[in-house]
Amino acid sequence: MFAVNMEEAKKELKIPDKINIFDTTLRDGEQAPGVALTVDEKIRVAQKLDELGVDTIEVGYPAVSKGEMESAKTIGDLGLNARISSLARVLERDIDAIIDCDLDYAHLFIGTSPLHRDYKLKKSKTEIINQAVEAVEYAKDHGLTVEFSAEDATRTEMNYLIEFYKAIENAGTDVINVPDTVGILTPVTARHMIRTLRKKINIPLSLHFHNDFGLAVANSIIGVEEGASQVHCTINGIGERAGNTCLEELVVSLKIAYGANLNVDTTKLFNTSNFIGSITNIKLPPQKPIVGENVFTHESGIHVDGILKHSATYEPIPPELVGHQRRIALGKHTGRASIKSKLDSFNLDVTEKQFEHIYDQVKTIGDKGICITDEDLKSIVITELSTTDKEYIKLLGLNVMTGESVSATATVKVSIEGEILETSQIGVGPIDASIRAIKSLVKETVDITLDEYRLEAITGGTDALAETFVLVSDDAGHRATGRATREDVILSSVVAVINSINKLLNIKENS
């Protein structure tokens, strides 16, 4: 997977034998603006997280409301494999709320930085330590496992932070958590901080990093390198402001780059991400690492050619590892290999001449900034397959004028067996006017009746390709169909009618 020098570098790194994933999607993730989950939704999320294999699920903050208590208690009663934790301030009533929910894991917190001490809590360093110690002792006396966060730890004086953590460790805390509450760490400062704390603290270290500078995952990895054995994460990295450490990015990075021992089933990451995105109504950008729509999508002809020969040429991991799928996209960068691969997957056979027509049309549409979907391509191919080799009539030009206060007028220029003809007609709309013009031009060759006309957008969006189907007949009873797929609905209609007339003329010649 990596070059030799990377393998050598990895030998120098030692991470804990087991990394625990503490998922806080239902607590910190739900604090993202606009996210508010019902009890039933929280239950479904917890079940998804448990199927994914996270070690601990933080289900909320029971002391906040009856709804929070109900969801915490209900999830706790589900018998999930993951441990169920809830948040509490260093207050007996908050801890009692966790006990009342029949949970056995309390995540306690209090601010320790000068900003929190002086402005929010208005307490001295000693008062904060004493309050934290009393809360730990109370929780332990009631049989709870205790994880403790020094809120805003990364802006707390290091000497005081160590004093604080040692005091709660001695009081019986089971796990010490280090929150980067406003996401100010960089990899260098994260390494220095966790290395310093690891030398002083004898119980497991956990990390809770925010993503304000886009460094939460990188900082968490550095923290694991320095001995932290647990990381707080959220699915899709959702959370307050810029969010939290992204679970799927962290897990795959640790697994691939470090061979970390994790319980998470990576093949469920894409599905879980989509589910959380849907239930929280937070749409992911297509380039979102690991789970984004475009992560395993290839358009460039050079890339697709490499992918088709060996997927690792342009993919760091196989999509199956995270439950994703590889997709070949078509656009202006598309090469012939991409289209041929698509046609093979559709079981569509075309001649070399037909393929060149299809290729040229894909390039033309792509140059206009339109992304061509699989359904678009199928329609283009079917249209090409339905086109006759002998073209009696060729479209040379089309111009339409329409508006609120003028009659729709279409000017059509065609070549009929080498003779160039042009005319203009009015109609109830630009398509009607265009078809009237065609009928007028070909009347001396064949008198047609339009028996059926269907127009539909293949995919959603205002730039969707238009697929037109027509059925025409002549006065001798011959009938023929025509198809066309174009980005312009009027042009699509005109080309479909001309294709049908060419078919009709072929039928008449061979009958």
Mean of the pLDDT values across residues 450-469? Answer: 80
Give the end-to-end CA distance of the chain in Å, rounded to a whole number.
64
pLDDT of residue 479: 84
Comparing 41-50, 191-200, 322-331, which segment has the lowest mean pLDDT?
A: 322-331
- Exposed, middle or buried by CB within 10 Å (0-12, 13-18, 19+), for 418? exposed
pLDDT greater than 70 at residue 269: yes
Residue among 468, 469, 470, 503 at smallest CA distance from 487: 468
Concatenated DSSP letters for 95-164?
Answer: HHHHHHTT--EEEEEEE-SHHIIIIII---HHHHHHHHHHHHHHHHHTT-EEEEEEETGGGS-HHHHHHH
The CA-based angle 101-102-103, given to 5 degrees, is 90
Classify the C-alpha dihedral 68-73-77-80 as positive or negative. Answer: positive
pLDDT of residue 11: 64
CA pair distance 412, 441, nearest whole angstrom: 9
The CA-based angle 298-368-392, given to 5 degrees, is 110
pLDDT greater than 90 at residue 40: yes
DSSP 8-state class, residue 198: H
Q: Beta strand 408-416 with 393-401: parallel, antiparallel or unpaired?
A: antiparallel
Residue among 153, 305, 320, 116 at smallest CA distance from 228: 153
pLDDT greater than 90 at residue 235: yes
Residue 386: pLDDT band by 50, 70, 90 thresholds? low
Do 34 and 239 contact (CB within 8 A), yes or no?
no
Residue 184: pLDDT band by 50, 70, 90 thresholds? very high
Do 38 and 30 contact (CB within 8 A), yes or no?
no
pLDDT of residue 299: 64
Mean of the pLDDT values across residues 346-375? Answer: 78
Mean of the pLDDT values across residues 269-288? Answer: 94
Residue 334: pLDDT band by 50, 70, 90 thresholds? confident
Hey, what amino acid is at 301? G
Give the start-to-end residue ranges of the domains of the chain.
17-280, 297-374, 393-510
Which three-class secondary structure state does DSSP give residue 365? helix
Task: Please enumerate in sequence order all residues whose Cβ is within 8 A of that of 107, keeping only pairs 6 or more positions apart, or say none.
Answer: 58, 85, 86, 87, 88, 147, 148, 149, 177
Percentage, residues of the chain above pLDDT 70: 92
Mean of the pLDDT values across residues 388-395? Answer: 80
Hey, what amino acid is at 124? S
Q: What is the largest CA-CA distance in the chain?
A: 103
Right CATH number for 17-280 from 3.40.50.1110, 3.20.20.70, 3.40.50.300, 2.40.160.40? Answer: 3.20.20.70
CA pair distance 168, 151, nearest whole angstrom: 14
- In Å, how far are 21, 50, 232, 471 from 16, measured between CA atoms? 13, 23, 16, 70
Residue 391: pLDDT band by 50, 70, 90 thresholds? confident
The alpha carbon of 176 is separated from its chain's Cα centroid by a whole number of angstroms, namely 33
Do 90 and 110 contact (CB within 8 A), yes or no?
yes
Comparing 9-13, 253-257, 291-295, 391-395, which segment has the lowest mean pLDDT?
A: 9-13
Percentage, residues of the chain above pLDDT 90: 64
Residue 383, CB-side half-sphere exposure with 13 Å CA sphere? 27
- In Å, how far are 53, 267, 337, 442 from 333, measured between CA atoms? 40, 30, 12, 39
CA pair distance 105, 146, nearest whole angstrom: 6
Residue 344: pLDDT band by 50, 70, 90 thresholds? confident
pLDDT of residue 370: 67
Residue 415: pLDDT band by 50, 70, 90 thresholds? very high
* Topology classification of domain 393-510: Double Stranded RNA Binding Domain (3.30.160)
pLDDT greater than 70 at residue 14: yes
Mean of the pLDDT values across residues 312-317? Answer: 85
CA pair distance 482, 55, nearest whole angstrom: 60
What is the tens place of the pLDDT at every residue in 49-82? 999 999 999 999 999 999 899 999 999 999 999 9
Comparing 197-206, 247-256, 304-313, which segment has the lowest mean pLDDT?
A: 304-313
DSSP 8-state class, residue 248: H
Residue 346: pLDDT band by 50, 70, 90 thresholds? confident
Mean of the pLDDT values across residues 363-386? Answer: 72
What is the tens place of the pLDDT at every residue in 283-312? 899 999 999 988 887 766 666 667 667 777
Concatenated DSSP letters for 449-475?
Answer: EEEEEEEEESSSSTTPPEEEEEEEEET
CA pair distance 420, 441, nearest whole angstrom: 10
Tell me the backbone φ, ψ of residue 436, rounded to 5 degrees: -60, -40
| CB burial string 288-307: b at 16+ within 10 A, e below | bebbbeebbbbbbeebbbbb
Do 29 and 242 contact (CB within 8 A), yes or no?
no
Q: What is the mean pLDDT of the chain?
A: 90
Q: Which run of H or of E encompasses 266?
A: none
pLDDT greater than 70 at residue 320: yes
Do 12 and 1 contact (CB within 8 A), yes or no?
no
Mean of the pLDDT values across residues 470-494? Answer: 86
* pTM (predicted TM-score): 0.76
pLDDT greater than 90 at residue 385: no
Q: Beta strand 230-233 with 205-209: parallel, antiparallel or unpaired?
A: parallel
pLDDT of residue 7: 63
Which residue, chain included where needed, has tokens 């073209």?
A: 391
Between 340 and 490, the more confident residue is 490
Tokens of 131: 């309050």
pLDDT greater than 70 at residue 259: yes
Task: Please enumerate in sequence order all residues whose Cβ is within 8 A of that of 252, keeping only pairs 6 or more positions apart, or say none.
Answer: 266, 269, 290, 317, 321, 322
pLDDT of residue 302: 62
Mean of the pLDDT values across residues 265-278? Answer: 96
Residue among 179, 181, 178 at smallest CA distance from 204: 178
What is the tens place of the pLDDT at every residue in 237-248? 999 999 999 999
| CB burial string 450-463: b at 16+ within 10 A, e below | beebebeebeeeee
